[in-house]
Homo-oligomer: A and B are copies of this chain.
Amino acid sequence: MTIPLHASTVRPEWVDYNGHLRDAYYLLIFSEATDALMDHIGLDACTRERTYTTIFTLECHLRFLREVKRSITVQVRTQLLGHDAKRLHIHQSLMVGESDEAAAVCEQMLMHVDGRGPKSAPFAPDVLACVQAIAAAHARLPKPINVGRVMRLPG
């Protein structure tokens, strides 16, 4: 089981005074890709409403590697790095055109939540089965660069 690509087009209002995608809007695109992942594992809007569950982002590490300009279409590849009964640790790559080098990468820790608290909650069995199938498929992928990165000045 692989996670489908998420595609998005850079909107004019996402471009800053530098003429490229503003940092926060890279994260908006990654965040929408996370929504697509939720749909994919059975946590679509309908199920979330019915079961009072959702996903909260706990943490997010972004690296901006290349400028992305207005009106460009981008795609996000998502790789599952790890999981437990209620968390997903994922890595996302923002790809532009035919290039095989990411324009940005995002490492995220996500928590499954019972919205009635809100408090953390284990995945339902069918959702967990989906996550486990993805984990089995992704165990064969190489570990992406930039995972577990500590930020520091060079030298």
Q: A residues engaging B (CB < 8 A)?
A: 17-18, 22-25, 27-28, 30-31, 45, 48, 54, 56-64, 67, 82-84, 87, 89, 107, 109, 115, 118, 148-155
Chain B residues near A54: list those with CB within 8 A: 17-18
Which residues of chain B have C-beta atoms less than 8 A from A60's C-beta? 23, 61-64
Among the listed B27, B28, B84, which residue makes an inter-chain contact with A155, where contact means beta carbons less than 8 Å apart? Answer: B84
A64 neighbours in B (Cβ, 8 Å): 56-60
Q: Tell me the complex Cα distance, A27–B54, Å.
A: 21
Q: Quick one: which of B30, B56, B148 contacts A150, CB cutoff 8 A? A: B148
Q: How far is the CA of A62 from the CA of B61 in the complex (A)?
A: 6
Point out the residues of chain B lying under 8 angstroms from A45, CB to CB. Answer: 17
C-alpha spacing A154/B84, complex, angstroms: 9
Q: Is the CB of A18 within 8 A of B151?
A: no
Q: A151: which of B28, B84, B107 is its contact (CB, 8 Å)? A: B107
CB-based contact A22/B18 at 8 Å: no
- For the complex formed, measure the closest distance between the CB of A80 and the CB atoms of chain B, giving whole angstroms: 12
- Give 18 pairs: A residue, B residue, CB < 8 Å, sorted on A: A17-B48, A18-B56, A23-B27, A23-B57, A24-B27, A27-B62, A58-B64, A59-B62, A59-B63, A59-B149, A59-B151, A60-B64, A83-B153, A87-B154, A89-B153, A107-B151, A109-B151, A150-B150
